[in-house]
Structure 1
Amino acid sequence: MKSIEFKAVVRENLGKKAAKSFRKKDLVPCEIYGGEKNYHIAIEEKFLNKMVFTPYTYYANLDINGEKKKVIIKDLQFNPVNDRVSHVDFYEISEDKPIVVKLPVKVVGLAKGVKDGGKLSQEMRYIHVKGLVKDMVEIVEINVENLEIGKTIHAGDVNIPNLTIVDKHDKAVVSVKVTRAVAEPTATGTTEQAAPAAEPAK
């Protein structure tokens, strides 16, 4: 699991007016929950964006006026007009407590079903897992080389050492669907196959 480091400042003044003042300075108001106490902080938007606008899942090592905290994003709010991050809720994590995160899914290999004319369909771009931070992986790779036409890999089929899949086990992750070309013979093919069976004219 990827990590990122940045500094945060403590917000002494709370409320909508104070939050608006921070945003004018390109600072995003944030909260940290899950630890011994909650923190009201602000982080520079340009640094926070590196953690938000990415296909990967990060945990952050925050420096809050010299105090170190390890956190993950729990919830995000965006400005409906310009799509800028307007508020973030972080969850404080520790090395010995399991957490639930979503990890990106990457399909690797050329499926047998695709070679046979089927179409690969990736149903899940992320998969939710539970485990310790030290066991988290950056990306979940799913090999589809042996996946045949009409077959599906479900969440319950995914195995990641020391991590538990949280998604419903019957949820489809990736499948090879039957295409029209495979399901129906072409008009030319039908004609060519039917021709030998025709009787000569009398």
Structure 2
Amino acid sequence: MMTNLFSTFDPSTNIFNLSLNWSSTLLGILLIPCMFWLMPSRFNIIWNKMNLTLHNEFKTLLGSKSFNGTTFIFISIFIMMLFNNFMGLFPYIFTSTSHLTLTFSIALPMWMSSMLFGWINNTNHMFTHLVPQGTPPALMSFMVIIETISNVIRPGTLAVRLAANMIAGHLLLTLMGNTGPSMAMNMIYMLIFGQMLLLILESAVAMIQAYVFSILSTLYSSEVY
């Protein structure tokens, strides 16, 4: 029995003292063997084109001063988020990206490593980011405080943005599904049609949120070079 609206998202499925809800994070591994086919499938061709497009876009955002292979970090994050977001659309699969435990544990180390690299190797460059170009001298001290606060809360906004967007659609689907038994038969058809439309919307949100998380991570990392 649910104690509140959000208890349906709690990772509380325990068998042999193991929380099996988090196993949904690894379900994407089941789809990897198709990448090793001798003849590439259409799915493989589309996947390679998508990775190449992301690589070119992330490379442009990071700039020419970035290290080779840096884009693969953000492409891997995009793939992981995409798999987990889509897996959560299937029934009885826990959406790990709707939990701050996963999103914050990815956003915080990535932000922390970028900040340490920037402040250790490009200290003057990091100081210049605290005062935007064209700021009046009277407002410089306030801009330093504002930019510092906005920089510190970046991992939190990354984590909360992804978790909140994923849990909102799932919560709406759950609430709509719970009203089905008490509705008239002619209204159930409208409910099913509305849930199908919402599921299509959630599929788009799953792709968009994975892209937003990876692209914002790339933009934050590009500031340290």
Asked if these proteins are the same fold (TM beyond 0.5), I'd say no
TM-score bracket for this pair, using the shorter chain length: under 0.3
More strand by percentage: 1
Larger RCO (alpha carbons 8 Å, 6+ apart): 2
Larger radius of gyration: 1
TM-score, normalised to structure 1's length?
Answer: 0.21
Structure with greater helix share of residues: 2
